[in-house]
Amino acid sequence: MTATTTMKEFGGIIVPLMESTVDKDGNIPIKIIDAGWGSSGYYSKETLQKAVSEGVYHKGLQMYWNHPSASEEMDRPERNLRDLAAVQTSDAYWDENGKKGPGVYADAKVFSAYRDSVSEMGPHIGLSHYVWGESENGEAEGRKGTIITHIAAARSVDFVTMPGRGGAIAEAFRTAGPPEPTSDQITANESTTMGDTAKPTITLESLKTERPDIVEAIRAEFEAGATTKEALAQTETKLKEAGNTITALKTENARMSEALTLIEAKGFVESKVKDAKIPDITKARIVESLARVPPMKDGKLDTVTYTASIEAAIKSEAEYLAKIAGSGSVRDLGTTTPATPTAAESDAALLQAFMSVGMTKEAAEAAIRRA
């Protein structure tokens, strides 16, 4: 059995009215609740007896015409005065041999505006408490569900329609009651909140004073929710930062990969043109040109295609220089050559070629010497 300490609101087991009529002064005996399963959970005899001994169902406890809806609870938690139908005129007590069986009994006074409605609808309506309490998951009478373990305070004991009584009685019940609060309703409200002998209506301030444990449990629940939200927000922030970091790392990795590829490409081209029979300045031009956009295959240099491109560039440059020199092709480039110029002839041809593209004689001679 896993217990929870969260304070919650619970409705009670719907108990039929003991009497369907009230006397001339509005007095009526009531049975508030008996042990068993209700819509909110299971109420044991021991839990109800403890609530009685702690004065939960006290004299002056207000009785409203129906439980509040969720929206009413939010908009008007203090309840609507014109729905105040009755008030307990005695403290509740446990009666093992009560007229309607074992349970919690008390006396009440129905206000004049609701006496006819109670008398007319008596067979079709009942009572249900509206309380603060604690619960845990468990099993009782062969059924699993919410077990009410402690009733901390009663907000009201309300008149409600009995299940299965049909839409007509439900509509009549809903519309019963005065449009404005009557004098006896106002008096009853004042006596339960300001009187000297009656216990006050449960309020936040009274809970802080009388039951700080309830307030603390509620505060802990809200703080737990806030802590969870803050933790989720921090996790989302960290995930976002991690995503940004991963994106930046991927970008940097791509840059580094590209830089390494270009370095590898340059080294590859340099190795291929190293022994070619062309000037160094021509080799440098080929390296600069072909290392910029190397052919790739499966994320690596396509060395076969790259080699073919480099050899074609060497051959083209050699043929161009040979043409300028007027002495055919340069040998050792994969083709046969009919003649090989002398060194002096080659130098003279290169000198003329360099000077024809705008180089001074001194610069051309320096380039030839470096070659």
Q: What is the pLDDT of residues 229-272, one digit of tens each?
A: 777 888 888 888 888 888 888 888 888 888 888 888 889 989 98
Q: Is the pLDDT of residue 28 over 70?
A: yes
For the segment 111-128, the average pLDDT, to the nearest whole number, is: 86
C-alpha triplet 198, 206, 77: angle, nearest 5°: 95
What's the pLDDT at 337? 42
Phi, psi (rounded to 5 degrees) for 114: -115, -5
SS3 8: strand
What one-character-per-residue DSSP string does 82-105 give?
A: GGEEEEE-S--EEETT-TTSSEEE
The alpha carbon dihedral of 40, 130, 43, 217 has a sign of: positive
Contact 174, 66 (CB under 8 A): yes
Give 1's pLDDT tier (boundaries 50, 70, 90).
very low
pLDDT greater than 80 at residue 291:
yes
Q: Is the pLDDT reported for residue 186 higher than 70? A: no
**pLDDT band at 170, cuts 50/70/90?**
low
Choose between 304 and 332: higher pLDDT.
304
CB hemisphere CA count around 296 (13 angstroms) = 11
Helix (H) or strand (E) holding 161: strand 143-161
pLDDT band at 371 (very low <50, low <70, confident <90, very high): low
Give the start-to-end residue ranges of the domains of the chain. 8-210, 259-370
Highest mean predicted confidence (pLDDT) among 17-21, 158-162, 167-171:
158-162
Q: Which range in 70-74, 121-125, 201-205, 216-220 is most confidently predicted, on average pLDDT?
A: 121-125
Range 324-349 average pLDDT: 54
Which residues does residue 30 pair with via DSSP β-bridges, in sequence order? 106
Q: Which of 118, 143, 158 is nearest to 32 (CA)?
A: 158
Q: What is the pLDDT of residue 331?
A: 46
